[in-house]
Amino acid sequence: MNKKAIAPILLSSVMIITSFSGCGSKTDKAAGTATSEPTGKTQVITDKQAEAITLPISKEKISLSYFAMPEPYVVTKMKGYADMVAFQEAEKRTNIAIKWREESYTDPKPKLNLMFSTGEPEDIIWDAYNANGGAKKLLDDGMILSLTDYVDKYAPNLKKLMKENPQLMQEISTDDGRIYMFPEIRLDPTTRANSGFQVRNDWLKNLNLKAPTTIDEWYTVLKDFKEKDPNGNGQKDEVPFVSLSRKKNSQSFTNFAPGFGILDVDFYVDKDKVKFGPLEAGYKDYVTTLAKWYKEGLIDPEYATMEAKNFDAKITGDKGGAYYAALSGNLGKYLSTKKDDPSFDLVGVQNPKAADGKSYAAVSAFGKMVPHGASIGKNNKHIIETIKWLDWHFSEEGITLFNWGIEGKSFTGKGQDKKFTDLIMKNPDKLSIEEADAKYAGCVLVQMPGIDDPLAFQQLKCATPQQLGASKAWGTMDTSRIIPPLFFDETRTQENANILSEANTYLDEMFNKFVMGIEPLENYDKFVQKLKEMKVEQVVKNYQESYDKAKKK
């Protein structure tokens, strides 16, 4: 899955030069901390060995504030991260206590903006780059620290990982080379493949059909679902493809777009050229096909206004035949809900193949080694200790603790023989697997740097054979069209936002009109021309310039 359409960053045997003149570091020997001061020197990741980390990290207890937005599973049966056994154990081992500032999981940007507007960011900030202007502006404004020098000197574990995985440097640094966060890392493709097409496998068997792999095969399957009574109730009440609106692309038919050689919703890369789907020829074929399917009743007629609860009801009510959705929150949930129905079965299938025979991933997370990360706020008084604490999470001890919890309690075994105990898998207090994992370990549910262990991921997220099969299938899709992290200056950021705000509103409106047959497809060329008049091509140009700069880095 890691086949990017961008040349890897080259690591020489001597150093990685991150070419910019920025902030260096100075150690305050009396306080045992570091402050960030401009030195005018180019920062580098050298080939020198970083200072080893020994426990406890600090002889005296240190308290660090941490801005986080807990996953729902963390707060359903606990007050927050402070109740997590893994964090309690980490404090014992490192002598560093965390004072949590926990905000709502939804819509993090306004909360981050408000915090930064006060000029008093917490010592550690999770996903700080979501704030206005992104990581580059936060660095330029001095709200978060450039970590390049610190990583070079005090982060042996992350430094080693960067050397082994050149893509990592690109995903945690700006285009001018400033490292801005300690990342959550998903090295294994299956840990990134969290969503995909899901089809009623029992319906396929009832009609002697195979799981679809191309657009034509999808048409055959959906047509038979519509006409041949696969649920066996004697009525034509099936909804062949259940979908939410285009805006809710994590559960919509926008993921058919790769079958037409394009991606919808997001910008993408094709042979080092940045593209915007609606401006490409394949987009008309895509919309035309969806319009045909909608007219024939193959696509849910309620897709534009349907809510998630109605989406769920159609699947568990034996009305929906196929859909695109999450591995755990949908596939796992539906299998659990229908566990007493022996005939109910689902299978995960790849995105439909394009003309070149490849199945392209359409979700950006599939191609990213780094989905999240922790930055350090400007007022942190214990920078070096914070660096070492964050880096400790990439040590074997840290990886084990935050993926599995405590040996003998939440897991047993060594290496590939590790297994979660019944405390997690069959919790005596009736906690769900996710709730129990959140309480005792964390794995992908915890907002903390580290490496997501694919074995732990599979046991937690792939509790059924269907989920495991889906994860493996989705994890092998081609990710070369996923655009890498890009950076824009404040002028370009504002220009892009202004153009896309208007263009996307128009695009969503016209997309629905074309699909529903309200707007004749004869007017499609006028639609494209209107997007061009809205200066969407200027945004493509801006993205291309940023992409080219990132590639050179």
Give pLDDT, residue 17: 31
Are 277 and 270 contacting, i.e. CB atoms less than 8 angstroms apart? no
pLDDT digits (tens, 9 = 90+) for 346-358: 999 999 999 999 9
390 and 355 fall within a common domain = no
Q: Quick one: 407 and 539 in the same domain?
A: no
CB-based burial label for 293 (10 Å; 0-12, 13-18, 19+) = buried
Report which of 533, 443, 9, 534 is spatially closest to residue 191, judged by C-alpha positions. Answer: 443
Determine the Cα–Cα distance for residues 503 and 500; give it in Å rounded to an integer.
Answer: 5
Residue 12 clears pLDDT 70, i.e. is over it: no
Q: Quick: pLDDT tens for 519-533.
A: 999 999 999 999 999
Report the alpha-carbon distance of residue 35 to residue 380 in Å, rounded: 8
Single out the residue of 274, 277, 271 nearest to residue 257, CA to CA: 277
State the chain's mean pLDDT as an integer. 90
Stretch 478-499: mean pLDDT: 91
Averaged pLDDT, 394-398 = 97
Q: Which two tokens stand for residue 242?
A: 């259940």
- Per the CB < 8 A criterion, the answer to whether 25 and 36 are in contact is yes
Residue 80 sits in the same domain as residue 34? yes
Residues 224, 354, single domain; the answer is: yes
Please indicate, yes or no, whether residues 93 and 211 belong to a single structural domain of this protein. Answer: no
Q: What are the tokens at 88? A: 């309690």
Query: Do the domain assignments include residue 5?
Result: no
Q: Per DSSP, what are the bridge partners of residue 450?
A: 184
Residue 354: which CATH number?
3.40.190.10
Spatial CB neighbours of 72, under 8 Å, sequence gap ≥ 6: 105
pLDDT one-digit tens code per residue, 16-74: 333 333 333 333 333 334 334 433 344 678 999 999 999 999 999 999 999 999 887 78
Domain housing 227: 195-366+462-474
The percent of residues above 90 in pLDDT, for the chain, comes to 76
Question: Which pLDDT score, from 0 to 100, does residue 42 have?
Answer: 42
Are 109 and 157 found together in one domain?
yes
pTM score of the predicted model: 0.83
Q: Does residue 9 fall inside a structural domain?
A: no
Q: For residue 43, what pLDDT is reported? A: 66
CA distance 319 to 307: 16
Element (H or E) spanning 220, and its range?
A: helix 215-227
Residue 265, pLDDT score: 86
| pLDDT class of 319 with cuts at 50, 70, 90 | very high
HSE-up of residue 22 (Cα within 13 Å, Cβ side)? 26
Q: Give the tokens for residue 505.
A: 């509103």
- Please indicate, yes or no, if residue 8 is contained in any of the structural domains: no
H or E stretch covering 451: strand 450-451
**Mean pLDDT computed over 456-472:** 91
In order, the DSSP letters of 321-355 are EEEEEEIIIIIIHHHHHTTT-TT--EEEEPPPP-T
Residue type, 371: P
User: What's the number of domains the chain is made of?
Assistant: 3
Segment 288-299, tens digit of pLDDT: 999 999 999 999
Q: Are 223 and 166 found together in one domain?
A: no
**Per-residue confidence band for 261, with pLDDT thresholds at 50, 70 and 90:** very high
* Angstrom distances, CA of residue 178 to CA of 24, 145, 217, 311: 11, 9, 47, 43
pLDDT of residue 432: 86
